[in-house]
């Protein structure tokens, strides 16, 4: 099922439409598909549009500090922040977006919960050599003086829905589990909904903001590969929100 979840969005990606339009133009010898493909490329690679989409996704999630948060049963840190790489002495792990981890540590240091839960993110196509993300993060947490007795790992999970179910299993003895959910700001609305669907009371602690405060410049209107990537990134999250609005 996870393969379908990862592959199906490609049917709605701009790059897919652009390729199909160019293929149509090549076979039909018509100009219109080329013009439409060019227009689509310019729009989706425009920084002002891609940044606007990310700002839209993050608009309801203002950054908080630990003083804004009430105590809870556990702090839940969602996976999606480290990458396995090949090191000189074997497999190593590097940060891609460390804010989720440090947000969880910040809350633990502030005494907002006695337990911190790291989810065991791991995809089925990853080799046995690659550890679930939560296992790696738990070792990093020990470097920040978080006791092993305070750290809980979920079973292996493949998406946010799995994470919500796995956390529910851990907190099954609580009548109404209360958690502080730590994830990226763009990802928070969908994550919060999925956890609440499992009967979990959620306080949000959004981090890892992708759209900072910036002013318009001529560069804001010039197409770029980074903007195209950001558009696809934001578009995928919108697809995910639409899908889970029916679940």
Same structural domain, 54 and 72: no
**Residue 108: inside a domain, yes or no?**
yes
Same structural domain, 97 and 16: no
pLDDT mean by block of 10 residues, the chain; 247 residues? 70 93 94 96 95 92 93 95 88 91 96 95 82 92 93 93 94 87 95 94 95 79 93 92 80
Same structural domain, 104 and 127: yes
pLDDT of residue 20: 96
pTM over 0.85: yes
pLDDT of residue 2: 61
pLDDT of residue 174: 75
Parent domain of 55: 2-59+223-244
Same structural domain, 25 and 115: no
**Residue 218: inside a domain, yes or no?**
no
- Express each pLDDT in 136-186 by its tens digit: 999 999 999 999 999 999 999 989 999 999 999 999 887 779 999 999 999
Same structural domain, 75 and 154: yes
pLDDT of residue 240: 87
pLDDT of residue 3: 58
pLDDT of residue 5: 67
pLDDT of residue 215: 76
Same structural domain, 74 and 142: yes
HSE on the CB side for 91, CA within 13 Å? Answer: 10
**Residue 19: inside a domain, yes or no?**
yes
pLDDT of residue 152: 96
Residue 225: how many other CB atoms lie within 10 Å: 8
pLDDT of residue 74: 96
**Residue 216: inside a domain, yes or no?**
no
**Residue 91: inside a domain, yes or no?**
yes
CATH code at 97? 3.40.50.620
Report the domain count for the chain. 2
Same structural domain, 115 and 134: yes
Same structural domain, 232 and 202: no
């Amino acid at each position: 099922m996870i393969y379908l979840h990862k592959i199906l969005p490609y049917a709605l990606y701009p790059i897919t439409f652009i390729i199909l339009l160019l293929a149509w133009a090549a076979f039909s010898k018509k100009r219109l598909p080329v013009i439409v493909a060019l227009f689509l490329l310019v729009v989706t690679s425009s920084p002002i549009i891609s940044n606007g989409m990310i700002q839209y996704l993050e608009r309801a999630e203002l950054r908080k500090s630990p003083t804004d948060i009430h105590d809870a049963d556990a702090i839940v840190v969602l996976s999606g922040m480290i990458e396995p790489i090949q090191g000189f002495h074997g497999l190593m792990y590097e940060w891609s977006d460390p804010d989720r981890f440090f947000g969880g540590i910040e809350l633990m240091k502030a005494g907002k919960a006695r337990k911190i839960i790291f989810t065991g993110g791991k995809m089925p196509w990853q080799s046995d050599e690659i550890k679930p993300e939560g296992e790696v993060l738990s070792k990093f947490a020990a470097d920040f003086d978080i006791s092993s007795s305070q750290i809980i790992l979920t079973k292996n999970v493949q998406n946010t829905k799995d994470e919500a179910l796995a956390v529910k299993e851990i907190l099954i003895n609580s009548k109404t589990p209360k958690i502080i959910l730590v994830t990226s700001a763009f990802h928070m609305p969908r994550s919060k909904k999925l956890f609440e669907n499992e009967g979990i009371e959620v306080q949000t602690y959004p981090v890892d903001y992708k759209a900072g405060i910036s002013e318009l410049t001529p560069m804001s209107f010039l197409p770029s590969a980074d903007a195209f990537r950001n558009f696809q990134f934001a578009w995928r999250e919108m697809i995910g929100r639409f899908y889970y609005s029916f679940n």
